[in-house]
Amino acid sequence: MAGLVEKRLEALGVVLPTPPAPIANYVGFVQTGSLLVVSGQLCIGADGKLTAKGKLGGGVSSSDGAAAARACAINLLGQVKAALGDLDRVTRVVRLGGFISATPDFIDLPKVMNGASDLMVEVFGDKGRHARTTVGVPVLPLDAAVEVEGLFEVA
């Protein structure tokens, strides 16, 4: 039986992916005490392909970047589901960290990262409001436009 969070995801038309195996020497998540740390997730869509490739300000629009950040957040939630089995065990989204592949003059990084932040609030309500860091980087794995990591408090 789906819990409240999964019902919200269903209402939003969001299907959580099965997390892929890590592509290097790391794990997808680590739980220590009541904290769940989720490794950075790329903007890989349901079809297994990047939703946005390249740089913001260099061919990737802000709206495409925000959609890519949302895809990253969906992948984060897929990892959380794999870790906990039940998304209702999340008591707080503590922090998101966003990495945006961008040209040096691209300044709308926060607007791009809102794609991930907005989803967390849509799904978890006030428990989804979080601290956040967003940084521009010259390149990401697979030439992804966006990568997002997360820290969650869990019961």
Helix (H, G, I), strand (E, B) or coil at 124: helix
Helix (H, G, I), strand (E, B) or coil at 153: strand
Tokens read off for 112: 């791009």
Of 17, 11, 6, the C-alpha closest to 86 is: 6
CB 112 within 8 A of CB 146: yes
CB 62 within 8 A of CB 107: no
Tokens read off for 27: 């794990």
Residue 6 is classified by DSSP as H
Q: What is the pLDDT of residue 23?
A: 81
Q: What is the CA radius of gyration of the chain?
A: 15
* Alpha carbons 52 and 44: distance in angstroms, whole number: 8
The whole-model pTM stands at 0.96
Q: What is the pLDDT of residue 60?
A: 97
Of 106, 112, 108, the C-alpha closest to 138 is: 106
Q: What is the mean pLDDT of each run of 10 residues along the chain (155 residues)?
A: 88 93 92 98 95 97 98 98 97 98 97 98 98 98 97 98
Q: What is the pLDDT of residue 39?
A: 97
* Alpha carbons 82 and 76: distance in angstroms, whole number: 10
CA distances from 12 to 20, 24, 75 (A): 23, 32, 15
**Domains in the chain: ranges and CATH:** 42-154 (3.30.1330.40)
Q: What is the pLDDT of residue 1?
A: 56
Burial of 135 (0-12, 13-18, 19+ CB in 10 A): exposed
